[in-house]
Amino acid sequence: MSDSSAPVRPASAAAEPLTAAIEPARAAAVETAGAADLVGEHLGATAEAVGPAELGEVLTHTFASRLPGYMGWHWAVTIARVPGEDRVTVDEVVLLPGDQALRAPAWVPWHERLRPGDLSVGDVLPATEDDTRLVPAYTADDDSADDTEGRVVAREVGLGRERVMSREGRSEAVARWSAGEFGPTSSMARQAPGPCATCGFYLPLAGSLRQLVGACGNAYAPGDGRVVAADYGCGAHSQATLVVVQDTEVVTSARYDTSEYDVLGD
C-alpha cells in the first residue's frame, strides 16, 4: 500500500549516490521488518540537513509499510556517505506514521485517569503539588479576606498537617456529596418525613461545613456512618411519628407535638 503522506523531497545533485541507493535502503528495511512482503514500494527520498557538506551527506528513503495493523505508516531508512567515497552506510530504520495513520490516543498521566472507586487495598495515590483542592496550612488564613472557612481551617495548623483543603476543595466536596446518594435530590430524601438537620441522629461536621453536611449516627438508617447533606433525609428520622388509622400504624411527616391527633371523617 502506498502512503502519499510520507515526506518526499528531491535530493541535491551532490547526494546522487545516496539517492540511487534504494536497494541497500530497502534491504535494511526488510531486515528490520523481518520479511520482504512487509516493505512496500519506494515512496521517495528526503535530504537531511545535518550541517556543512564537508561533514557528510545524509538522506532518508521512505517505503510504504505493509505491516498488519499499521495502515498509513511508512518505513524511513536514513543512510549516509562521507563526501568523496562510494561507501553508503545505514544510520537507522524506523517505522513512522503518516497523516492518515492509525495511532494510539494521547497518553494521559495515570493520576488523571483514576476515577472514584479505583483505589484498592495497597494502592497509593499521592496528591500533586499543584492540586487546587489543597493549600499550605500556614496560608489557609490568608486564602481570602472574607473566607471564614479558610480561617476555620487555619486553626488546625497546630495539628501538624502540612496542607489542608482549600475553599475550592471544600466546595467541590460539598457539591459532590449533595449530588450523590445522600443528597437532597435522592429518591430517599424526597420521600423522607424530615431533613437530617432536624434529626437527633444527625452529627454535624465541625467548622465551616457545619451548616451543610454531617454524619448519620442511626444504625438503622441507610446513611449510617456516611456523610449526608443537612437537607437529606430518610424514614429513620428521629422525629417521625406514627398515626393510628383503623388499627394500622402509618408514618407521617416529622413532628414535635405528638400529644394528640385529629381523626378526619369521610
Strands of the 89-97 sheet, one edge to the other: 39-48, 57-65, 73-81, 89-97
Considering only residues 78 and 262, tell me which one the structure prediction assigns the higher pLDDT: 78
- Burial (CB < 10 A; 0-12, 13-18, 19+), residue 22, is middle
CA-CA distance, 157 to 76, in Å (whole number)? Answer: 60
| Beta-carbon contacts of residue 141 (< 8 Å; ≥ 6 apart) | 150, 151, 154
**Residue extents of the structural domains in the chain:** 13-97, 130-179
Residue 13 has what DSSP assignment?
G
For the ranges 64-73, 80-89, 224-233, 248-257, the lowest mean pLDDT is seen at: 248-257
pLDDT at 259 over 70: no
For the ranges 142-146, 204-208, 239-243, 260-264, the lowest mean pLDDT is seen at: 142-146
pLDDT, residue 149, reads 59
Answer whether 214's CB lies under 8 Å from 203's CB.
yes
The CA distances from residue 266 to 22, 97, 236, 260, 263, in Å, are 101, 81, 30, 20, 10
pLDDT, residue 6, reads 52
Residue 25 has what DSSP assignment?
H
pLDDT, residue 206, reads 83
Average pLDDT over residues 41-65: 81
pLDDT (tens digit per residue) in 204-242 = 998 889 999 999 999 999 999 999 999 999 999 998 875
CA-CA distance, 30 to 77, in Å (whole number)? Answer: 10
Query: Which band of pLDDT confidence, cut at 50, 70 and 90, is reported for residue 90?
Result: very high
pLDDT (tens digit per residue) in 91-114 = 999 999 988 887 778 888 877 787
**DSSP output for 82-102:** -TT----EEEEEEEEE-TT--
